[in-house]
Chain A
Amino acid sequence: MNPIMIPKPKRSSSRWLIYAALLAVYVWAFSGIPFTGIKETAGQVVESIVTGLFAPDWDFVYLPEGEDLLRGLLDTLAISILGTVISAAVSIPFAFWAAANMSRFRPISGSGRVLLSFVRTFPELVMALLFIKAVGPGSFAGVLALGIHSVGMLGKLFAEEVENIDRGPSEALMASGANRLQLLWFAVLPQVLPSFLSYTLYRFEINVRSATILGFIGAGGIGTPLIFALSTRHWDRVGIILLGIVVMITIIDLISGAVRKKLV
């Protein structure tokens, strides 16, 4: 009677090396965190925040003299709308630059790609700081920061869309004697426009979120009264502003999501 052969599971020695490396990284990461420096008042603060959140300062919703919640949210919305429109407009030429099928030479689209990933990586808050130095503090600096930073992502998404188009219509138009611009207008744009719009709306959703914090560094929007309320510990005011932000973003996500579903 033959004993049943039990195959040994494959074992790789490199696996233990990976585990050891991971462990080392985690030890390094956790050991460097000063968990001790937490304020003793934290519990008290949490309590007042919770009270503030559940008893928000409703009066702040509308103040006749201005600088209230509604105007802050409106400003935030305006920053994100304008920033998104600017970035969408700037992204279109960038997309054709970075799309591999639009130029004959690889380095052209390659350089576009590198530039876009550079813009994408450049933090928008830092961009806002620089724009504040250029045009002064206020919403306009925020608009410019969002407008430029968003090109990094939108340009990439647009370029991928351009790369995925059906070449057939372009060929048909070329055969009928169209020039390059006519080709673009009649064969390429109609194919990519709906997705361009859809991506723009998606980026708008992201930009609304970003615009709520631009005020922290002086680039306009609801972030300005929020950081002020936080630093002066007006927790009921923080509560109403948070509520306002959550409601606004939820509504915008719902509307934008519904429109995007219709587009594609």
Chain B
Amino acid sequence: MIELRQVTKIYPNETKGLSDINLTIRDGEFVAIVGLSGAGKSTLLRSINRLHDITGGEILINGQSITKAKGKELRLIRRNIGMIFQSFNLVKRSSVLRNVLAGRVGYHSTFRTLTGRFPKQDIDLAFEALSRVHIMEKAYARADELSGGQQQRVAIARVLAQEAKIILADEPVASLDPLTTKQVMDDLKKINQEWGITTIVNLHFIDLARTYATRIIGLRAGEVVFDGPVSEATDERFAEIYGRPLQQGELLDEVVV
């Protein structure tokens, strides 16, 4: 369970990133966060695993405050939260396998990881994660030899190998074409359904959010302006969230449906 209590973020230049956000996300939910760019989607997501510090309020992960955690405690909480990024964030020159194994470093001592001696179970885990996303045969290829969609699947495998209980995905499909978008979103959905991993995804495309999510949260100017099941997230409500009618660029209809 993820609880956000009166979360506020004010940037050093005094612009408001988030203001007074209260949310509870239960285990196994598939939440899509939507909103215009600059609405605070990314800030919200990065506050959950504290890649960004918040300036007010508190965030609890399974009852434990990540806001107050320090050092090792913080790293142990982060270990249970996987993250997927718009730009994949793989080490391009390293092999796919090594990128996936990098998800395991939180489990081992510094010395063990630096000498590269991952236990056999980790290697097995990495391969199984890769086979889940159907790119096991690429295990020894360099990450930059892969296409964008394949790279994002490697990033998903990294999160799987991390054995995360929560997945945060920050615009995971924004740099992919419609077809790979569908594959990546299907993978995320499958993982969410089969293993009950709580999944929170920032999305630009509203119809994608409606297709995959169980719950939609709308942000505008750092505030929650919509929070409800997909059935309530009609085009009219979105027009409200966005402050204007939906535009063609915000729909991906023809491919996904």
A–B contact at 8 Å CB threshold (below):
yes
Residues of A within 8 A of B (CB): 166, 168-169, 171-179, 181-182, 185-187, 190-191, 193-194
Is the pair A175, B114 in contact by a Cβ cutoff of 8 Å?
Answer: no
- Which among A174, A179, A182, A193 is the interface contact of B51 at CB below 8 angstroms? A174
Complex Cα–Cα for A110 and B75 (A): 30
Chain B residues lying within 8 Å of A181, measured Cβ to Cβ, are 110, 114
Known contacts A168-B87, A171-B51, A174-B51, A182 near B110 by CB under 8 Å: yes
Known contacts A175-B81, A182-B110, A169 near B76 by CB under 8 Å: no
Would you call B85 an interface residue if the criterion is a C-beta within 8 Å of the partner chain's C-beta atoms? yes
Known contacts A169-B90, A190-B93, A176 near B102 by CB under 8 Å: yes
Residues of B within 8 A of A (CB): 49, 51, 75-79, 81-83, 85, 87-94, 98, 102-103, 105-106, 110, 113-114, 155, 158-159, 162, 164, 168
Is the pair A176, B91 in contact by a Cβ cutoff of 8 Å?
Answer: no
Chain B residues lying within 8 Å of A177, measured Cβ to Cβ, are 75-79, 105-106
Given contacts A169-B90, A172-B90, A181-B114, 5 further A-B contacts (CB under 8 A): A168-B89, A171-B51, A176-B82, A176-B103, A193-B93
- Which among B83, B92, B114 is the interface contact of A185 at CB below 8 angstroms? B114
Known contacts A177-B78, A182-B114, A185-B114, A171 near B103 by CB under 8 Å: no
Complex Cα–Cα for A186 and B97 (A): 12
Is the pair A186, B51 in contact by a Cβ cutoff of 8 Å?
Answer: no
Chain A residues lying within 8 Å of B90, measured Cβ to Cβ, are 168-169, 172
Complex Cα–Cα for A181 and B94 (A): 17
Count of A-B residue pairs with CB < 8 Å: 81
- Interface core residue of A176, A191, A193 (most chain B CB under 10 Å): A176
Chain B residues lying within 8 Å of A186, measured Cβ to Cβ, are 91, 94, 98, 102, 105, 113
Is the pair B85, A176 in contact by a Cβ cutoff of 8 Å?
Answer: no
Is the pair A182, B88 in contact by a Cβ cutoff of 8 Å?
Answer: no
Chain B residues lying within 8 Å of A175, measured Cβ to Cβ, are 49, 51, 78, 81-83, 168
Complex Cα–Cα for A154 and B103 (A): 32
Chain A residues lying within 8 Å of B85, measured Cβ to Cβ, are 168, 171-172
Is the pair B106, A176 in contact by a Cβ cutoff of 8 Å?
Answer: yes
Chain A residues lying within 8 Å of B91, measured Cβ to Cβ, are 169, 186-187, 190-191
- In angstroms, how far is the closest chain B Cβ from the Cβ of A231? 52
Q: Which residue of B lies closest to A172 (CB)?
A: B89
Is the pair B94, A190 in contact by a Cβ cutoff of 8 Å?
Answer: yes
Q: Jot down 17 A-B pairs with beta carbons below 8 A, ordered by A.
A: A166-B89, A168-B90, A169-B89, A171-B89, A172-B85, A175-B49, A175-B82, A175-B83, A176-B102, A176-B103, A177-B79, A179-B75, A182-B105, A186-B113, A191-B91, A193-B93, A194-B93
